[in-house]
Structure formats: structure tokens, C-alpha cells
Structure 1
């Protein structure tokens, strides 16, 4: 199969989780014998922070505008499938162009589904509009559960399928390193995540000055009052993630408000930490129990006291249980097989529909 992806970024993981998600998925997809071309909008903030400029699992090329995509029009027309990702600059125009150009299966991969739907409800069509959704053969969604029904019934998607983030288990695995921190957090600053980070990490840090904490990620405002026992790392390249998790007694998962409301939206950080065998403390949202068993493979915390209680206890086999859950259902290899199956099934559906029309 020839797959062409127009996504936010593959080359740079700076300030976004899309790059690591695409890297894991597409690497595993290519390993199944498929050919992949990734087209990335050339923007200065990623151009100056590229940590994977030359991937070994696909071709990577850059375009400067929607009009510049005409350079790849023949390839896109001939491809078996073309995927457009969320937060792609000029995403509505890109989607219109892809749907008018591609002859194979077209799909949208939303790595931000609850945020996208909240934007659509406000009339914000930054990268997707209601008019373009029915034109995609498949809407692959970071979010599962009732949201999939909503995408089909309210927005007219011909087919909505959950395609959760995943992890490359060849890169993310347990590492034997000394523990540096009692609790870590890895994530770009987000205003709606910050209150939870305050309650579940900064407040425990203030109450436990003898324990060590760390927050890694860019774009945090200068006016945040970081306790003295909270280390800050401005940017942590993906290559350093496994060692970061391995050096953490526990790691914290914090979910954006729209994703908590929608439920069934596991972040890539959950799977990365789990694959590394690091015990996870998380906020609570519908569907998380379908990913990790609470009390067995994850700690669900509502307050600072819940976090402190977890830090005071021994994690036991929690990290091993989280890793087992990831290996059983959330590896990139499993997700790539699912993507292949859904694309091929849609190809067959289209072929059957064409035969019926011609009969």
C-alpha cells in the first residue's frame, strides 16, 4: 500500500505530541511492507527544532503552501490512501485539495478530537470544518467511545474509527537507571492542564519538601511559582523519554479538559510511560479503566493527598502491569495492523460500490 500523510509534524517533536505519535505509527506501518510519504508544512518553529530530519521508515518532504502541494498531485492521485492530520496549517483548504485530487481512500486523523469538536461548536474552523468531514472516507479519531457515534450522526462522517495513540515498544522499554525523582511530568504547557498539574504535582511538592519532582516540557509561563524541589527541563527529545521515565518512581498523566469531558482519550504519554514500566498516577476520566486497571496498573488521583499517599506507598508490580497492558493492546505494531485493516476494508467497500453502480 502507498500511504501519503499530510500531518502537523514528523521532523520536530518540539511543543507537540503529534510527531512521536506519527513516528511510532508510520514506522510500524512501513514495517508491514507499505510505502509512506509524509508531507510537512515548512514552518520556522519546527524548522529550528528538528530532531528527526531524515527518518529511515518513510520519505519526508516539506511544502510551503497549499498551492505548493501541486508538486505532489500525481503521487497523491495514485496513492492507495491519503491521510490529513489535525492542526495542519490551512487544514480545511488542504482537505479540500486532497479530496479533489486523491483517487484512493481519504482519511482524517484527529489526534485532538475533543479539542476539534469544541472548536467546531464555537465556529472555529482552524484546520477542519463541518463541510469537509463527509468528504473523508474515514475519520480516524484519537478519542473512542460515544464520540465516534457523534462524528457519524452529527457531522456526517461515512465511517468514524478509533485510532488511539501508540508507542514504539522497541524504543520505549524498561531501563535500569538510578531513580532521580519521586514524581515526574512530561508535557507542553497548556492552560487547561495547568490547574491539575498544580493540584497533583506542585501542591504535593510543597507539602513534601524532602521529595524530588520534575516537570519537562516547553512554553511554561515565567510567572509560575515552582517549588524549590521541582526541577524544570525546558525540552526533552523523544530519544531521552525512556531514561526520563526510568528515573521516575512515578510519573503523572494530566488530561486536557475537553478530553476529560469526552473520555476515551488516552494520551501517548500514558503508553510511553507504561511501555517503560513506570508506575503512573493519573487524573480521572471515562474510559481510562479500559486502558489500565485502576489500583492494579494505574493510580487514579483526585487530590494532592491521593498523590502523596501513592508516593508514600510502594508501587509493587504496578509498572509491570502497565507495561503488560501496553504490550497487549497499545503497541505501534498493533495500531499499524488496525490502520491497515481499516484502510483495506474501506478500499473494498469503495470497489463494491463502484461495481454495483456499473452493474
Structure 2
């Protein structure tokens, strides 16, 4: 009976069934799996995000262009000296703020003071020479009058000898001597008249400088130049701004005319030169809104507008422009400089040469 009945009761509440050979044990029902949210998220969320991104670029991507090839620019004045000489005084230091008219440096003025004195002496000499020429001209009038008197006497003597010669009471030698004296008197008159004309020319005034003797006018011009050179020994700031590159400003340094001695970065409003690709210019117009960000000041955004667009690409104004007329020519997208005026007042200093990112919005306001 025990072999026939495999069930063994251990208690009334618990029963253990021992399977025999040939019997099939039913499997316990599997636990119902929990529904996962990953599959619907991947099926619907990711495509929705992609569609949103595509839609954003579709509706807004064609409304603006941007470039990171942009730099802050400011007006810079290279100051040089108009007169050569040795520096005797320096009035500024590196990165010092100056106003227009402030003294930058002074060149030794002594040689130019001497030149002023020489010009003044030249004026005095010209004035003395003019007085001398006027007196000489007046003397030439007396010479002319004396020549006229000599001619009159010679003419009378000639007439007398001629009459005597006709009557046979004088010799031919006396007659010829009287004739020769008359000719000499006439020649003296011509010489006196020529000398008077020369003296009159010396005291005359020219059409370019009416009312003043040319020699005196030339001396006055030399004096004016000497005074101007003396004034230029003091080199002053032409504009207000910040002084830079003052390493050559040393007392005792010999300055040469035309050689830049110092640079002043003007405090006038800065702008940005943005080099856009030529393919970005189709919709760009002057006056369009722009946003400028600076690498030096993360988080700072400045609004501006397109002020102007360059008349040529960057390669056109290079020292050696590219010549593409050859068999190995490869087309390269060109860059066109676009000037961006900054409308906002920056809370930070806009240093010349800072790297910037520029975004130009074709329609609507900048965001």
C-alpha cells in the first residue's frame, strides 16, 4: 500500500507529495513581470526631442549667422616727432591715461632757439639792406641829373666846334674831341639810368607778397619755420586715451622724424571686426541687430548692429594677394570683414584685440 500511494501525510495541515517514476509534476505559475517605461520613452521621447531640435534649427537657423573669427578694435594713434633731437623730458608712463594736449615728451629745444635767433637776425639784415638800396636809388637820381648836365655841356662844346670847323677856325682834332665827349656823356646817362632801374628793382615788392620787400618776406618765413620747429619740440597727445609702447621714451634717446615713438589707444567707442564667410552675406544688411560675446568675459553679452561691410575680402588686402590663375587652383571660401558697432555700454574694458563671437540676426530683435 505504501508503494501504491506516494502521498505521505505528515500532518493534517501539510502534505508532501513525492512524485514517482512516470508522473509529471506541474510547473508553478511564473510571476507576472512589471511593465517597463524605458521602451515607450525610447520609442516616443527620443524622436520627439530630435523633431524639436530639427524644428528649432529649421525655423531659426536661417534667421542668423555667426562667426568666432572676430576681434575688438579701437582707434590707435601712432605719435611721432616732427623735429629730430634728443629727448630731455618724458611726461608719461606705460598704460597711463592722458587727455588731448597733455605733454608726452620734450626734445632739446636749444638748437631750435638758436635757429629762431638766426631768423630774427636775417630779418634785421634784410631791413638794413632795404634801407641801403633805398638810399642808393636816391643817389642814382643825382647821377642821372649829372649825366644830363654833362650831355648839355658836351652838346654846347660840340656845336661850337662844329661851327668853327665850318668856318675853318678850329682843327679837326678839336672837333673830333668834342664829338667824342658828347658820346661819352650820353653813355654815362644810359649807365646812370640802368643803375637807377637796378636800384629801383631791389626795393620793389612782388605780386606774391605785395607791400613787403621779398628779402624781408623770406626772412619772416624762416622765422616762422624756426618758431614752429621750436614749438614742436614739445610733443603732445593728439587724442585722449591710454598710452602704450613707451619703451623708446627714455631721456637721452635720439629721436628721428617720422618714426613712431608712442601709441595712444583712443577712448572713443570700440567696435568689432567680424570676418564672415562669403556664403553668409546673402541676407546680411547694414543696420541688422547683432550679439557680441567675448572670450575674456564669459557671460557678458553686448548688443550691436552691422555698421558696414568690407569692400574686399581679407586676401585682397594682404601683402601678397593670392594668384589663382594656375592648374592647381583650389577654390577656398573667402572671408569678408564686417564692422559691428557696439550699442551697449560695456561694464568691462573693451581691450583692443580681444577675441569675440558675433551673431547677426537677419529679422527681428536680438535675443
* TM-score, normalized by the shorter chain, greater than 0.5: no
Q: Which protein has the larger Cα radius of gyration, Structure 1 or Structure 2?
A: 2
Where is the strand percentage greater, Structure 1 or Structure 2? Answer: 2
Could you tell me the TM-score, scaled by structure 2's length?
0.17
Structure number with higher relative contact order (C-alpha < 8 Å, ≥ 6 residues apart): 2
Could you tell me the TM-score, scaled by structure 1's length?
0.18
